[in-house]
Chains A and B, each alone.
Chain A
Amino acid sequence: MSRHYEIVVDRIRCDGRGLCAELLPELIRLDDWGYPIISPGPIPEHLMPLAERAVEDCPVLALTLRRTEQGKRASR
């Protein structure tokens, strides 16, 4: 079974810097106040390196990757 991950935002930590949406616009867009809206569901395989980069580069360390069950739709 292949591994599936989703992006989880710590909403208290998140400051709305918006770097994640620049690094991973395929999965992350910003709301009208600059806070990320994450596409639900597991991260497609080919976007994993970018997702890892977004997690590492978040200036306030608000993002994490969490393993999901295969095919299970994750909540935002």
Chain B
Amino acid sequence: MSTMRLLAGRTLSAGPEGFAEHAARLGHLPHAGRDLTEVVVRSGLTGRGGAGFPAGLKWRAAAARHAHVLVVNGAEGEPHSKKDRLLMSTRPHLVLDGALLAARAVRINEIVLYIGEHHTIARAAMERALAERPAADRKHFRIAAAPARYVSGDSSAAVHLVTTGIALPTNAPAAPAMVQNVETLAHVALIARSGEDTGTVLVTMAGGVSRPGVLEVETSSTIADAIALAGGATEPPRAVLMGGYFGAWVEIGQAQGLTLDPAALRARGLSLGCGVVGVLPGSHCPVCETAGIMRYLAGESSAQCGPCFFGLRALAEASGRIATQGSNSEDLQRLHRWAAEVRGRGACKHPDGAVMFLQSALSTFGQEFASHPAHRARRSA
């Protein structure tokens, strides 16, 4: 395992690291070409945008189908996630290095930095970093603004936007493109230098911790370690939402010992997802939290596919009825049946992520869903 870190160098509050400082610290861009794909495969690096697909395998497949656009995905539409914009705002050259290396390895000429439209600090830092690069690097890049919607970060939506100007998921992306998250590419910049996996992940600590925000932790760290690094829990937690709104609820007793290692989480049927670790304080009602998140996710459907648009809305309404009017067996049965029926029936993964989240709530908080009293103390997560 390498001793390099994504966020090594100047303190984060000192703003973006300039090109000279970056080059002095890490050296210039390594001379790697197509051979880097196999180095990345061997490193075991997985995507950090949410889906967790092995990066090297993605590159192999993209080269085989002659992808000609690399989309550097910094849309970060996940409500609590902050790590992608922190990385772009503080270590922009790491992201540019990774993008150039990936583009070379896959033989792509056009690179699009796809940055959330409201992430102005991140965008300004990336623009400034690009301006510091030699013209030979700069000519490959352009910047596209990702609309502030949850589905904007979906890879088919990202490709659709950069090729047609419409950030909606599609069945068939128009241009052969490769989409890779900004953190994934920053790891590539280090892997190309050291030859091995960085061994760290960026996580965003959210909810009931004293210091919510982004941490870079070793993959051997546990969730309990991460909570401690975030200043500790504000009150004894009830559960953890692992991986953001497309993630899964885990009882605190089981969650504390889990390591923040993509492979280990996968082996437990969980996912690091986009790296959000949401801590649910013991005094918060998990049913009401779940209902609030379902309402949000239903509203974020791009309304293109019937099962997603109508299905998520119905699921959100049924969860909301249980939250506000108390448990009833009809709604509970509907939640189980609809969640199973909606899955896999959208053009993108939005409905799948939403119903998997709901299914984890139904299994982790089965007791609470079955015996929820009528109350209106609904908090949004």
Contact = CB atoms under 8 A, between A and B. Distances in A.
Interface residues of B, number: 17
A11 B308 CA distance: 9
A28 to B, nearest CB: 12
B310 interface: yes
A28 B173 CA distance: 27
Contacts of B171: 10-12
Contacts of B51: none
Q: How large is the interface on A (under 10, 10 to 19, 20 to 34, 35 or more residues)?
A: 10 to 19
Interface string A64-76: 0000000000011
A31 B311 contact: yes
Nearest to A13: B171
A17 B310 CA distance: 14
Nearest to B351: A11
B305 A12 contact: yes
Interface in B124-174: 170-171
Nearest to A16: B306
A14 B306 contact: yes
Nearest to B307: A35
Nearest to A10: B171
- Tell me what chain A mostly uses at the interface: helix, strand, loop, or mixed: loop
B311 A33 contact: yes
B304 A12 contact: yes
Interface in B284-327: 304-308, 310-311, 314
B264 to A, nearest CB: 27
A12 B170 contact: yes
Interface in B185-231: none
Contact of B347 (A11, A15, A35, A75): A11
A37 B345 contact: yes
B338 A11 contact: no
A15 B306 CA distance: 7
Contact of A32 (B304, B308, B314): B314
Contacts of A12: 170-171, 304-305, 347
A59 interface: no
A14 B304 CA distance: 9
Interface string A33-47: 111010000000000
B44 interface: no
Contact of A33 (B304, B314, B346): B314
Nearest to B344: A76
A57 B347 CA distance: 22
A24 to B, nearest CB: 17
B336 to A, nearest CB: 13
List 9 tightest A-B contacts by C-beta distance, closest first.
A33-B310, A11-B305, A35-B306, A12-B304, A11-B347, A16-B306, A76-B344, A12-B347, A35-B307
19 contacts: A11-B304, A11-B306, A11-B307, A11-B345, A11-B346, A12-B304, A12-B305, A12-B347, A15-B306, A31-B307, A31-B341, A33-B306, A33-B314, A35-B306, A35-B310, A35-B345, A37-B341, A37-B345, A76-B344
